[in-house]
Structure 1
Amino acid sequence: MTSHGSGPRGSQFRYVQLADVLRKEINEGTRVPGQRIPTQEVLAAQYHVSRSTVIQAIDLLREEGLVRVRQGSGTFVREIGDAAPAATAEAADAGDESWAVVSEDVPLVRLKPYLEEAFEATEVTLDVFSMTTESLATQVSHQKDRILDGAIRPPRSITARLILPDTDSGHLAIPRPVDGSDDPRVRQRMRGILTAHATILRESLYELRNRKLVQEVSVEVRLVPFSPQIKLYILNRRLALQGFYPPDLGNVTVAPGGEDVTILDAYGTGATLFPFRAAADSTPDQVGIVRQIQKFFENTWTHQATRADI
């Protein structure tokens, strides 16, 4: 769902929380492609965990394709395009369905370069289905700074539509205590995270309008009574990025009293994204993956989501 703060907490799931911190840094560009990750000793000292916790966290990031371990050299942030070769034409004849899989090893895709591309358009549209918009809020703030610094020409309009889970609903499957009970404190914690990031995103965009750099800005949030299992970014109705929220166990601290609660949560910050781009000559009446994703968003927005005052 989100990062857990400046460093790992709890005991049983410290490696998950450390991986979450490192994943967020990779996604935000703090740790850039090709950069060497600090040694196990340095990470253990920095985050006050054991070396075994660091090893487990790195293994988790390696399984997700975010880092590469080079024997004798260390661990490095995986570079975009650093993927296995695609399947050959001969492999397509190996079985009835082998042609459907090009490669199980996909290039690492991050939100940042695609959002930079989107903000260079005259009219920017952001349709997002997400758990908290944490990743998006950070990157939108960076795009605001690019405009303020004169790095790019301001677009004429920016429209953002966000679909987020309704934390007032006691039926959310995630986040929820591991025993399956409904703990309002867990939902309230999520509500605070969700509201904070949606507010950052909204204020970043409205600042551009208030400074008269962007003529038209619209930000609308709607809530659905369920937890998303996928995250979607549809940029300018031409590019769709899809990622997944793998459910996993984690420890969170809830108010009041600062009690640690073990919950089933979803960790999407820094998740691998899969891009789908509409062809340059495609028309609105053509069937394609981007059009189908847009239709999924529109139907969810219209039929299942209710307006929220965030």
Structure 2
Amino acid sequence: MTSHGPVPGGSSAHQYKRIADELLKGINSEVWRPGDRLPTQEQLADRFDVSRATVKEALKLLSSKGLIVTRQGSGTFVSEGPKSDVVPQRNSPSVENRGDDGDDDGDDVWAVVSERVPPVLLKPYLEEAFEATQVELDVFSMTTESLAARVSDQKNRIMTGEIRPPRSITARLMLPDCDFPHLAIPRPVDGTDDPRVRRRLKGILQSHATMLREALFELRYQGFVPEVDVEVRLVPFAPQMKLYILNRRLALQGFYVTEEGTIPLPPDREEVAIYDAYGTGATLFPYRAAADSTPDQVGIVRTFQAFFDSNWDKLATRADF
């Protein structure tokens, strides 16, 4: 998800998308939890310095995705959604069924729990992953913005003694190479390659990747986790899919929906219409390696891992930041 900064100052034709994006960030970070009431339209209009009509369009967009519901006379609420048959289980192989060596006990099992999986939040699955003896994060995304904040939360859980520190944490972050011309997104609507657009994305992804890396290495510097390894590699294309693979046992997948927006660019804050990936297009769906599979079954989690590894090994180059 590309961060767009404050809403004021953009084209009114696309402000509602930015507002929807900001509201979604609040939902994903649990500022508003399922069942919570959102601020009123008047409050949102004041907060973002836009008209109520613009707020209504933003809410309509989130409602069309099933993320919020409006109750006549009561207000707008975060959708509680359907019950999932793949919610984190504390006795899952990634947490409890590991031997002292940190490996799974004997079974290389890969399968999709269900094709009818509801969208989920990243936080509970990341909490589960950090309760393992060995934590492995493979991430393919635009900026790691969502992940960086959630990893900081896990760092705090470890440092405050809420959970037992893992023996090791390994993170591989695969991001777009913003020095590569003609990225599919973000780019100007007219099809030209504007280096200012790519430099803007580069600044965003560098800041979030650095925040994530510093959070994890602080655990090593402070003596909580003896082994920490974080590597960032860049690929010469923009991801159309957000992918988290947690401890090689769970995959969270979302798709970036390309939409039109406007951003101010230096030196004179010129308004430029671009195609970009807004956070509202990155709803996550979970797939867990099932415990009753056999080693010869190639399920979607293993396929996701092969996809990540092939790009990491063959196309990605080490970042210089």
Give the counterpart of 1:186 among 194, 197, 209: 197
Aligned position for 1:41: 42
Does the 8 A contact of 2:131 with 2:163 survive in 1? yes
Aligned position for 1:9: 9
User: What is the count of residue pairs matched by the alignment?
Assistant: 291
- Does 2:65 match 1:68? no
Bigger mean CA offset, 107-116 vs 189-198? 107-116
Deviation for aligned residue 1:61: 0.7
Report the AA paired with residue 258 of structure 1: R
Report the AA paired with residue 166 of structure 2: P
Report the 3-state secondary structure (helix = DSSP H, G, I; strand = E; otherwise coil) of the residue aligned with 2:279.
coil
Give the TM-score, by structure 1 length.
0.89
Q: Distance in 2 between matches of 1:160 and 1:149?
A: 22
Report the 3-state secondary structure (helix = DSSP H, G, I; strand = E; otherwise coil) of the residue aligned with 1:264.
strand
Aligned position for 1:226: 237
Does the 8 A contact of 2:139 with 2:243 survive in 1? yes
- Does 2:160 match 1:149? yes
Deviation for aligned residue 1:65: 1.9
Deviation for aligned residue 1:293: 0.6
Deviation for aligned residue 1:72: 2.6
Q: Distance in 2 between matches of 1:130 and 1:282?
A: 29
Provide, for residues 142-201 of structure 1, a one-character-per-residue CA deviation record: whole Å limited to 9, x for no partner.
111111111111111000001100000112010001100000000000000010000000
Report the AA paired with residue 79 of structure 1: E
Does the 8 A contact of 2:33 with 2:78 survive in 1? yes
Report the AA paired with residue 9 of structure 1: G
- Does 2:175 match 1:174? no
Does the 8 A contact of 1:120 with 1:153 survive in 2? yes
- Structure scoring higher RCO (CA < 8 A, sep ≥ 6) equals 2
Deviation for aligned residue 1:4: 1.6
Give the counterpart of 2:269 among 258, 261, 268: 258
- Does 2:30 match 1:29? yes
Q: Distance in 2 between matches of 1:247 and 1:175?
A: 9
Deviation for aligned residue 1:261: 1.4
Report the 3-state secondary structure (helix = DSSP H, G, I; strand = E; otherwise coil) of the residue aligned with 1:65.
coil
Provide, for residues 102-127 of structure 1, a one-character-per-residue CA deviation record: whole Å limited to 9, x for no partner.
76xx5330100000000000000000
RMSD of Structure 2 on Structure 1 (CA): 1.8
Bigger mean CA offset, 294-303 vs 281-290? 281-290
Q: Distance in 1 between matches of 2:27 and 2:266?
A: 29
Report the 3-state secondary structure (helix = DSSP H, G, I; strand = E; otherwise coil) of the residue aligned with 2:35.
coil
Report the 3-state secondary structure (helix = DSSP H, G, I; strand = E; otherwise coil) of the residue aligned with 1:309.
coil
Provide, for residues 235-273 of structure 1, a one-character-per-residue CA deviation record: whole Å limited to 9, x for no partner.
000000000100001111222222221110011368321
Bigger mean CA offset, 41-50 vs 235-244? 41-50
Deviation for aligned residue 1:284: 5.3
Which blocks of at least 5 consecutive residues in structure 1 are unaligned? 84-100
Aligned position for 1:243: 254
Q: Distance in 2 between matches of 1:281 and 1:102?
A: 16
Give the counterpart of 2:304 among 293, 301, 307: 293
Q: Distance in 1 between matches of 2:162 and 2:281?
A: 25
Report the 3-state secondary structure (helix = DSSP H, G, I; strand = E; otherwise coil) of the residue aligned with 2:230.
strand
